[in-house]
Amino acid sequence: MIDVKHIEYLKNVVGEDDIKTDKAHLRAYSYDATKEHFYPEAIVFPENEEEISKILKYCNENKIVIVPRGAGSGFTGGALPVKGGIVLAVEKYMNKILEINDKDMVAVVQPGVINSHLQKEVEKRGLFYPPDPASMDYSTIGGNVAENAGGMRAAKYGLTRDYVMCLRAVLPNGEIIRAGKRTIKDVAGYNVRDILIASEGSLAVITEITLKLLPKPRMKKTYMGIFENVEDAMNAVYKSLADGAMPVAMEFMDSLVVKALREKLGVNLPDWAGALLIGDVDGNVEEEINYQLGILEKSFIENGAKEFIATAEEEKSKEIWFARRNASQSITIYGSKKINEDISVPRSKLPDALKGINEIGKKYNLTVPCFGHAGDGNIHVNVMVDGNNEDEVKKGYRAVEEIFKLVVDMGGTLSGEHGIGLSKAPFMKIAFSEAEMNLFKRIKNAFDPNGILNPGKMGI
């Protein structure tokens, strides 16, 4: 329990109204998209970096846990106060776009800015911020940076990391640092910026983010390849990319997802459809787009696609994307609880990975629909269980562990974009050696020797 004197001190820092300890607030900040609950002891709403610095310095000296929080939309519990302490919430005040500069082609934002809000603002000026996690309408840029969020467009445009030029952050001891520069190139000093990205709020509290922007491509078309089976589709993914295609996205849905889309949402797809690949290609001139579509069509057909559709019409495009955008909700027909993992493998291993996952599903007698960002090797694997059946849930987690082992053996990773947080922490030892885990601990210690920042995450 945090002593009342500490709460009083923090009230002096942020003002009476910006620290909350009432039950309603504690509950509201106790959960995230994992739906697990851990109650904090207080929630603090700082107005600026200086307040954050004072909060951290005091909490560090008094060994009080601080858990930074954006929108709380993470899938792995990154924002959960699993060891209690104080949630530091940025959404109330630190939610401003400070600058959109079309000369330098950068945006400077506070951590609480909503991703899609930033996207819209920069697009008004003919600029483009590519990272588009599925949560973009509610997740914050701060959270995106803390988890290195991906999204549909990562196949061509990369991840949040690829757009972060510099950060301002507060260390647990209250010191304010800058990491990186508002320049394309910077090789001075250790790359603190990139170690803060995806560190899940466990090393420092990010207070300002400078993002690189691109010119907005002038046009796009949408494509869909329909395959009889998953193996053909998975071959088409890596072979079409190796043939030189650079689609914005290449999204995959397996036969279970196709079935669910048909049954739950009445999506009109051929009877024989056993896998889909959906995406956009973009560019500045029609010829480039058609060149891209030409590679995709040829390669998809060579690898077994029975149908290839391409369209520039917005209505038709929306219809195609409807399938992908509703994949996640459609598969609830297979079980009340979804154990949702986001493994990533080298692209040529996709056919074997999907085959192996299917076999693990059979072994445990569980349904495991898969979909996701195949173009970058990142697949959302959904182990469906009856949430009220404790034994089945346990069985589900055993299946997940086996899937992780399979993926790591193939040179893949536990998480392509969701992070480790709490949910995947028990599996870190599958992916990392003792030497690597010890190095992580020493890095943590270099930033946060008292262990006050978001403890209990990442297995560290």
Restricting to residues 89-118, which ones interact with a copy of itself according to CB under 8 A?
A: 101-106
How far is the C-alpha of 324 from the C-alpha of 277, rounded, in Å?
9
Binds a copy of itself by CB under 8 A, chosen from 238, 252, 300, 321: 238
Range 177-196, binding a copy of itself (CB under 8 A)? 177-179, 181-192, 194-195
Instruction: Please count the residues of this chain forming the interface with a copy of itself, following the rule CB under 8 A.
Output: 95
Binds a copy of itself by CB under 8 A, chosen from 447, 454, 456, 457: 447
In the complex, what is the shortest distance from the CB of residue 8 to a copy of itself, in angstroms, rounded to a whole number?
Answer: 28
In the complex, what is the shortest distance from the CB of residue 319 to a copy of itself, in angstroms, rounded to a whole number?
Answer: 28
Range 423-442, binding a copy of itself (CB under 8 A)? 424, 428, 431-433, 435-436, 438-440, 442
Burial 199-236 (b: 16+ CB within 10 A, else e): bbbbbbbbbbbbbbbeebbeeebbbbbbbbebbbbbbb
Which runs of consecutive H residues, i.e. helices, occur in 303-349?
314-325, 327-330
Through-space distance between the first and last CA atoms of the chain, rounded to whole angstroms: 23
Binds a copy of itself by CB under 8 A, chosen from 207, 222, 255, 378: 378
Q: Cβ of 145: how many Cβ atoms within 10 Å?
A: 28
Q: Does 284 bind a copy of itself (CB under 8 A)?
A: yes
Give Rg (Cα) of the chain: 23
Cβ proximity to a copy of itself, 51 vs 376, nearer residue: 376
Binds a copy of itself by CB under 8 A, chosen from 3, 61, 175, 302: 175
What letter does residue 367 receive in the DSSP assignment? B
How far is the C-alpha of 452 from the C-alpha of 223, rounded, in Å?
48
What 442-450 contacts at long range (C-beta under 8 Å, 24+ apart), as own/partner pairs, is 443/195, 443/203, 444/202, 444/203, 447/171, 447/172, 447/202, 447/203, 447/204, 448/171, 448/172, 448/202, 448/203, 448/204, 449/172, 450/60, 450/63, 450/172
Range 69-88, binding a copy of itself (CB under 8 A)? none
* 278 φ, ψ (degrees, to nearest 5): -130, 145
Sole window of 114-122, 213-221, 224-232, 326-334 interacting with a copy of itself (rule: CB under 8 A): 213-221
Range 122-161, binding a copy of itself (CB under 8 A)? 126, 147-148, 150, 154-155, 158-159
Q: Does 307 bind a copy of itself (CB under 8 A)?
A: no
- Interface mask toward a copy of itself for 341-370; x: CB under 8 A: ---xxxxx----------------------
In the complex, what is the shortest distance from the CB of residue 416 to a copy of itself, in angstroms, rounded to a whole number?
Answer: 4
Binds a copy of itself by CB under 8 A, chosen from 130, 369, 416, 456: 416
